Chains A and B, each alone.
Chain A
Amino acid sequence: MRHSVHAAVIAKWAAVPAALVVSGLLVSQASYSAFSATTNNAGNNWASGSLALTNDASGTALFSASNIKPGDAGSKCITVSTTANIASTLKVYASSYSKGTKSLGDRINVTVTSGSFPGAAPANGACTGFTAGSVAVATTSLTSFAAASSSYATGADSYALPAGGSRTYKIDWTFATAGSTSADNAYQGDTASIGFTWESQS
């Protein structure tokens, strides 16, 4: 009995320093591993989630038109997909915009519309069969779009992208006349370029 009491008391009071030591070790080890080393686990799928956004025009220009003149127009369709296992918010914004030395971008109007295809999307970004849904970017000049939406924070659309979801967009551009032949001629021989970036954040 006496031994039991002593052992119980020892066990009782030993618990306090033991827990303190264990917690200290836990915290210090956890902190060391988190804050001491630079790690890069790009593309790995962790238990709590992952996001990998792709589009079916990746690596190519969405549109590339040369020798355009006032009144010319074109459109391309693109589908952005994620393999994410978590929900996220999808936005689109302009990256690396150049309006050209003569400000051609001021005269290019762009409209971004979300929508869907009844079946598989046609090849090469064609929009055959595209059914318009909601307007992501109302008609505006490339210059003002790039100024208004240049980062995720200012990106357009804010679509709630479910895990494994996708979204199809149609991008229309039009070379709007400046109003007169002489005014239009100021935009001859110029090149505007813009990259569209879709970003999804959890």
Chain B
Amino acid sequence: MLPTEQAAAADAAATAGSPEELKGHSISQQWLRVLGAALGRVVVILAVTMMGWASAPALLGWQPTTVVSGSMEPTISVGDVVVSRPMGAENLTPGRVVLVDDPDHADRLRLHRIAAVNPDGSLVLRGDANAANDSSSVWPSAVHGVGYLRIPAVGLPIVWIGRGQWVLVIIGVAVLAAALAMTRLDRHFARPGRKVARSGGPKSGSRRRADWKAWLGQARRASSLVLFLAAAAGLAGAAVMTAPMAHAAFASTSSTQASTLSSRTFFSCTAAALADSPSLFYGFNDSPKPATAVTDSSGTGNDGTFRMTASLGTAVPCAGDGGSSADLAGLRYIATTTGSTGPTAFSYEMWFKTTSILGGKLAGFQDSKNNVTGVNDRNLYMRVDGKLVFGVAPGGTMHTIVSPAAYNDGAWHHAAVSLSSAGMNLYVDGASVAASAAVTTARSGYTGYWRFGNGDLTGWPGAGLTAFDGQVDNIAVYDTTALTPAQVLAHFQAAAP
């Protein structure tokens, strides 16, 4: 306030001429002085009373805060003082402006409007000028009060000081000082009383006027006191308002749609087959590899044995499995150790790779582990033209379905067959390539062994050699159910790199 005092003092020095100067002023100049003083008074008292509005509610426990950012515009601007009244949670309804502990910044207050009340009682806030609700909701316990009074622009000096806008601060102080100085423009109209009193002339007609003017002098001193007290109150108000700042923070979010990461149905062919509970599964992945035994990893103990010699290959169809495959070149084949009755509804599948143009038997259910000929059924074999044939012979009558394409191309292929009341089906590489709904049963009435790679093909149409010359891997038998097309496809896709 030093500049103000200086300004007032300078003003006083400039206008403290002798009362006689008054006589040189015209009537219009006197009126201008009266009006100027009145205007100055209005400005000063207005400023002080606005400060009073801003600070007096603190006596009631209401909280005045200066708004320092603008997300509540246009209704609440930067520099406004908002007085918040503590209220019960039942008053925290949408549409009300609340002062809360900022959920996103420690030790900050946030002034935003309640946009919604969550079912759990927390409040969703939003700045009027923000495009979206605040991302963080607040609990009613964090609410300091509900906005009750807005005193426009009173806190602007605090904002200016906070931002270091000293030019604006100086302009504001100068305006206030000028207004204070203007209040003294009519001081000459109070002076004459002193002059009259000093002269002491007992002019009878002006006695009452002299008394009145003496009273006026007192009143003037009293009004100075009032001004002083009001200014002090205003300063106290400024001090009260300065302490807490209310941030009406701007916020904006930018989101992406949910990113999704889906894992494969099966990471390996083994996992795919085992997921459908096979009764036999030969993965050829044992380490160390057994001499001639073939381990069943289905959990049913349906182990097998390499016939002739045992040989494993390093080429595998499923990158997820690693390990090795069975090399069936050189008349090698695999037979189960334990016999069983032939399944009625069943599937089996395997991966195979060959370049043979002589054909060969991939799988079949035969009445012995090692005899070249015998009762056989549920056969899958490759013809000399490379096409696959799936055949069953219920009652001895052979029924076959043939793939349209050849597969002796030196690449790994997945073959699966199924037989059930829905018919017989041959799948290659995940898709059905041949089917017959009319054939629903297989040959029954004998105990047999699963043989993979060689077996009797006497009488089967198109058969070439019986020994399959190639590699096989991941042989699975399901002896109670037929795989669905979706299951077959998933088993095929499990091999994808």
Residues of A near any B CB (own CB < 8 A) = 1-2, 4-5, 7-9, 11-12, 14-16, 18-20, 22-24, 26-27, 30-31, 33-35, 37-44, 46-55, 57-70, 78, 80, 82, 84, 86, 88, 95-96, 98, 104-105, 108, 151-153, 173, 175, 181, 184-185, 187-202
User: Quick check: A185 and B271 within 8 Å, CB to CB?
Assistant: yes
Closest to A155 in B: B104
Residue in contact with A194 in the complex, picked from B44, B209, B258, CB distance below 8 Å? B258
User: Quick check: A31 and B148 within 8 Å, CB to CB?
Assistant: yes
Residue in contact with B256 in the complex, picked from A18, A50, A196, CB distance below 8 Å? A196
How many residue pairs, one in A and one in B, have C-beta atoms under 8 Å apart? 277
User: Which residues of B sit under 8 angstroms from A41, Cβ to Cβ?
Assistant: 73-74, 128-129
Where chain B touches its partner, the secondary structure class is mixed
Against A, the Cβ 8 Å flags (1 = close, 0 = not) of B182-206 are 0000100100100000000000000
User: Quick check: B42 and A19 within 8 Å, CB to CB?
Assistant: yes
Cα distance A194–B260 in the bound complex, in angstroms: 7
Cα distance A65–B258 in the bound complex, in angstroms: 12
Write the nearest CB–CB distance from A100 to chain B, whole angstroms.
8
User: Quick check: A192 and B148 within 8 Å, CB to CB?
Assistant: no
Q: Point out which of B113, B131, B493 has the most chain A C-beta atoms below 10 A from its C-beta.
A: B131
Write the nearest CB–CB distance from A193 to chain B, whole angstroms.
4
User: Which residues of A sit under 8 angstroms from B73, Cβ to Cβ?
Assistant: 41, 46-48
User: Quick check: B266 and A108 within 8 Å, CB to CB?
Assistant: no
Whether A196 touches B259, Cβ cut-off 8 Å, given contacts A34-B97, A42-B130, A70-B267, is yes
Residue B261 is within 8 A (CB to CB) of chain A in the complex: yes
Against A, the Cβ 8 Å flags (1 = close, 0 = not) of B6-46 are 00000000000000000000010011001101100111111
Given contacts A105-B261, A199-B251, A201-B105, 4 further A-B contacts (CB under 8 A): A57-B256, A175-B263, A185-B268, A189-B265
Whether A9 touches B262, Cβ cut-off 8 Å, given contacts A22-B42, A27-B53, A151-B136, is no
User: Quick check: B135 and A192 within 8 Å, CB to CB?
Assistant: no
Whether A61 touches B267, Cβ cut-off 8 Å, given contacts A30-B80, A38-B113, A153-B105, is no
Q: Can you list 16 A-B pairs with a CB-CB distance of less than 8 A?
A: A19-B42, A19-B45, A22-B42, A24-B53, A33-B150, A35-B148, A39-B75, A44-B129, A47-B73, A49-B70, A58-B255, A151-B103, A173-B261, A193-B258, A198-B255, A201-B104
User: Quick check: B136 and A30 within 8 Å, CB to CB?
Assistant: no
Closest to A18 in B: B42
Whether A50 touches B250, Cβ cut-off 8 Å, given contacts A68-B262, A173-B261, is yes
Q: Which residues of chain B in 61-90 are interfacial with respect to chain A, using CB atoms and an 8 Å cutoff? A: 69-78, 80, 82
Closest to A181 in B: B268
User: Quick check: B260 and A193 within 8 Å, CB to CB?
Assistant: yes
User: Quick check: B97 and A35 within 8 Å, CB to CB?
Assistant: yes
User: Quick check: A12 and B186 within 8 Å, CB to CB?
Assistant: yes
User: Which residues of B sit under 8 angstroms from A197, Cβ to Cβ?
Assistant: 135, 253-256
User: Quick check: A153 and B151 within 8 Å, CB to CB?
Assistant: no
User: Which residues of B sit under 8 angstroms from A4, Cβ to Cβ?
Assistant: 27, 30-31, 34, 189
Residue in contact with A82 in the complex, picked from B43, B129, B252, CB distance below 8 Å? B252
User: Which residues of B sit under 8 angstroms from A51, Cβ to Cβ?
Assistant: 130, 250-252
Cα distance A123–B263 in the bound complex, in angstroms: 26
Cα distance A184–B50 in the bound complex, in angstroms: 70
User: Which residues of B sit under 8 angstroms from A69, Cβ to Cβ?
Assistant: 263-264, 267, 320
Residue in contact with A53 in the complex, picked from B72, B113, B129, B252, CB distance below 8 Å? B252
Whether A19 touches B41, Cβ cut-off 8 Å, given contacts A55-B256, A198-B253, is yes
User: Which residues of B sit under 8 angstroms from A84, Cβ to Cβ?
Assistant: 250, 252
User: Quick check: B53 and A64 within 8 Å, CB to CB?
Assistant: no
User: Which residues of B sit under 8 angstroms from A188, Cβ to Cβ?
Assistant: 263-267, 271
User: Quick check: A199 and B41 within 8 Å, CB to CB?
Assistant: no
User: Quick check: B261 and A26 within 8 Å, CB to CB?
Assistant: no
User: Which residues of B sit under 8 angstroms from A151, Cβ to Cβ?
Assistant: 103-104, 135-136
User: Which residues of A sit under 8 angstroms from B41, Cβ to Cβ?
Assistant: 12, 15-16, 19
Residue B301 is within 8 A (CB to CB) of chain A in the complex: no
Residue in contact with A12 in the complex, picked from B223, B250, B268, CB distance below 8 Å? B223
Whether A42 touches B265, Cβ cut-off 8 Å, given contacts A22-B42, A35-B97, is no
Write the nearest CB–CB distance from B290 to chain A, whole angstroms.
20
User: Which residues of A sit under 8 angstroms from B42, Cβ to Cβ?
Assistant: 15, 18-19, 22
